[in-house]
Amino acid sequence: MKKNTPETQEHIAQIMKDSVFIQNYKHADSDLPGIADRIKRYVSTNPSQPEILLFNRHWATARYSQTTRHYKAEDVAAISSSIELVTPSHYTCQKLYKNLRECFATGNCSKTYGCLDNIQVTNMAKYLSSIYVSGW
């Protein structure tokens, strides 16, 4: 993950400014001054090989073996952000997937209960392998 430096903060601020600009003019003529340059700044026409290999390697794992895609890794790499972002949900998703694969392999199930708030999640987490968090 890239460090949070002043340069990174400036880059993020510029991206936000440009995205507002592009959103405001997305239905306007494409010959508006500067819009093509601003769009090209964030859409790479020539993605790097390591990025493409990274997507292909990730998609080749057992987790995505049954997934059909109508696009290529080159397409995804061309529009990917230059800022690497990993959120906490990334790790909980991996944990849940591993848990479900273990249940499938052993023929067991994951007993779960629903909860309505974070206090219930905290109290239930030590007793259950998965918890359904209501989205209402």
Residue with tokens 């998703």: 93
Single pTM value for the model: 0.52
69 assigned to some structural domain: no
33 assigned to some structural domain: yes
- Look up the domain containing 29 and give its range: 1-42
pLDDT bracket for residue 1 (50, 70, 90) = very low
Could you give the CA distance from residue 67 to residue 61 in angstroms, rounded to a whole number? Answer: 11
Q: pLDDT, tens digit, for every residue of 92-121?
A: 888 889 999 999 999 998 888 888 888 888
Number of domain units in the chain: 1
136 assigned to some structural domain: no
Most confident by average pLDDT, 25-34, 35-44, 52-61, 74-83: 52-61
Task: Write the secondary structure of the chain as one string of H (helix), E (strand) and C (coil).
Answer: CCCCCHHHHHHHHHHHHHHHHHHHCCCCCCCCCCHHHHHHHHCCCCCCHHHHHHHHHHHCCHHHCCCCCCCCHHHHHHHCCCCCCCCHHHHHHHHHHHHHHHHHHHCCCCCEEEECCHHHHHHHHCCCCEEEECCC
